[in-house]
């Protein structure tokens, strides 16, 4: 009886989720130009020798780390690593800053130390109202660091502070987090494709190609 009830619940949940995603994809079509602009800013930053600094809280912190990992490691292509750093991983820095300056400053303090004009700050937030991300975005605006906000569907202050804002078109937090992962993968795919021609000429790629040839011989 329990298994049958659970199966019915799961079927209903899957149908509900499918319907929600149909609406989400329709809404995302209208944001294609904004997604493309975000990708172009990331590509331009990396080509100019800048770096991406990424942050979020809770599940959005995990997504920030996921985003940085795909770029430093790889997404789908074998290529040189790209300069991306999640500001959510250094527990010593996070706890020291939170203890000495308050949690609102955990990203701002790192941005002041690590960020340079021309770098890019990516802020993941389903609410767009996290105080530490708002403080960080404001700091970026004052120091020549670009801001891309990746938020939920409701109007929010983080989006207003950003140079470009991508919104998951849903008020549901869990769905917004899933859409953020999709955006991460879309952006990583676009960036890798665009930088592929640059990567062919990179020292890293040349070394890997040379080693591969030696192994083949």
Q: Report phi then psi at 172, rounded to 5.
A: -80, 125
**pLDDT category, 211, cuts 50, 70, 90?**
very low
Q: What is the pLDDT of residues 45-99, one digit of tens each?
A: 999 999 999 999 999 999 999 999 999 999 998 999 999 999 999 999 999 999 9
Which domains are assigned to the chain? Answer: 40-196 (3.40.50.10490)
Out of 59-63, 101-105, 139-143, 207-211, pick the least confident: 207-211
Cα separation, 55 vs 51, in Å, equals 13
**pLDDT category, 3, cuts 50, 70, 90?**
low
Enumerate helices (H) and strands (E) in the chain, giving the number of each: 9, 5
* pTM score: 0.85
Per-residue CA distances from 217 to 180, 200, 208, 213 (Å)? 44, 21, 14, 6
Q: Does residue 202 have a pLDDT over 60? A: no
What pLDDT shows up at residue 179? 95
């Amino acid at each position: 009886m329990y298994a049958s009830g659970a199966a019915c619940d799961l079927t209903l949940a899957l149908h509900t989720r499918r319907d929600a995603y149909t609406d989400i994809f329709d809404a995302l079509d209208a944001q294609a130009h904004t997604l493309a602009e975000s990708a172009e800013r990331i590509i331009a930053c990396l080509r100019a020798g800048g770096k991406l600094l990424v942050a979020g809280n809770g599940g959005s912190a995990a997504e920030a780390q996921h985003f940085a990992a795909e770029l430093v490691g790889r997404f789908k292509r074998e290529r040189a690593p790209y300069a991306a750093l999640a500001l959510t991983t250094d527990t010593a820095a996070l706890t020291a800053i939170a203890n000495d300056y308050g949690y609102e400053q955990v990203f701002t303090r790192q941005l002041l130390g690590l960020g340079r004009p021309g770098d890019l700050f990516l802020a993941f937030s389903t609410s767009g109202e996290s105080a530490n991300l708002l403080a960080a975005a404001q700091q970026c605006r004052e120091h020549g660091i670009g801001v891309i906000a990746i938020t939920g569907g409701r109007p929010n202050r983080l989006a207003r502070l950003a140079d470009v804002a991508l919104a998951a078109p849903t008020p549901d937090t869990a769905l917004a987090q899933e859409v953020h992962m999709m955006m991460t993968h879309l952006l990583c795919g676009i960036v890798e494709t665009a930088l592929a021609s640059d990567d062919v000429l990179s020292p890293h790629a040349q070394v890997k190609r040379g080693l591969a040839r030696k192994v083949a011989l």
